[in-house]
Amino acid sequence: MSLILGGTLGLGLLLMVSPVMWPARAERASTRGLTDRLRDELAMAGLASVPPAVVAVVSITLALVGGAIAQAIFQIPVLTAIGAVLGGTVVPLLVRSRASRRRAANRAVWPDVVDHLVASVRAGMSLPDSVGALGGLGPAATRAAFAEFDADYRRTGNFSLCLDRLKATLADPIADRIIETLRMARDVGGSDVTAVLRGLAGYLREDAALRAEVIARQSWIRNAARLGVAAPWLLLLVLASRHETLVAYDSPAGTVLIVTGVGVTLVAYRAMVALGRLPEERRWFR
């Protein structure tokens, strides 16, 4: 009876914290497909030419390799399953990590992009020429994408279509806002486009400075939490060098202990990430 009550209490606590740990996953899954999100991550990571199917094939291959290595070393079914899961998540985690780093680096670049646009427009250049000039005059991190836009526009002459392709190449919510502002200025006209862009540049600089300060203060806490999550599993690897330890874990009680440890680790890590998460802008214009 006490086991049932304890399990019910644990389930209730998990349901209470689930909106914080998984705030918008269901909404994102319903509004955007997994393939679209993976394609955006690849584009943001600089791997836009890699098809999502290749990522899936590589992940499955690494899952098989990870499971085979775990089986060869431990010969415990539950650890074999964990090794397969870890192997299958290596590529998606690397892609997401690279995309996050590039997104953070580009956050400091976009105000300079807007400043270049404002200077070009005030100098009398047309909007297509101002955007295309960023391929040679803009920040180095975005020159390739804007150079591709310039070549595309010179080939087709369709400003709206080229902006759509530029958005797909950049795959960044801040770039979406800048591009949609330029599209509206092109379609509607008006003399306030430079004022709007200057206001946007100021907001982006303030947001980037605030995020950098918060991340710097949180970095040591996050690193300590990651070390705390990894320490028990490193200890398990050390203990697994003894044959009697493997025999103990290769039992129903050992399996329950490992599965429970995995669950606690995942919940603790997700809680740590949720508590330290900063709100990220989402791509509203697609």
pLDDT (tens digit, 9 = 90+) per residue, 158-217?
888 899 888 888 888 888 888 888 888 777 766 677 888 888 888 888 888 888 887 777
Instruction: Tell me: pLDDT of 133 over 60.
Output: yes
Furthest CA-CA distance within the chain:
79
pLDDT band at 31 (very low <50, low <70, confident <90, very high): very low
Looking at per-residue pLDDT, the higher value among 128 and 282 belongs to 128
Percentage with pLDDT > 70 across the chain: 84
Could you tell me the pLDDT band of residue 26, with boundaries at 50, 70 and 90? Answer: very low
Note the helical H segments in the chain.
2-21, 25-31, 34-44, 52-73, 77-107, 110-122, 127-137, 143-156, 159-170, 173-188, 193-239, 243-249, 252-275
Place of tokens 């493997």: 246
Give the pLDDT of residue 29.
42
85-to-59, 90, 249, 253 alpha-carbon distances in Å: 10, 9, 19, 21
10 Å CB burial of residue 124 (0-12, 13-18, 19+) is: exposed
Which one is predicted more confidently, 220 or 20?
220
Q: Tell me the pLDDT band of 30, cut-offs 50, 70 and 90.
A: very low
- Whether residue 4 is predicted with pLDDT greater than 70 in this model: the reply is no
What's the CA gap between 204 and 69, in Å, rounded?
Answer: 47
Instruction: Return the top range by mean pLDDT from 41-45, 57-61, 165-169, 210-214.
Output: 57-61
More confident residue, 98 or 35: 98
The answer, yes or no, to whether residue 153 has pLDDT greater than 70, is yes
CB under 8 Å to 67, separation ≥6 — which residues?
80, 81, 83, 84, 87
* pLDDT mean across residues, the chain: 80
pLDDT for residue 19: 63
Please report the pLDDT score of residue 62 as a whole number: 92
As a whole number, mean pLDDT of residues 68-84 equals 85
Q: What's the whole-number mean pLDDT along residues 58-74?
A: 89
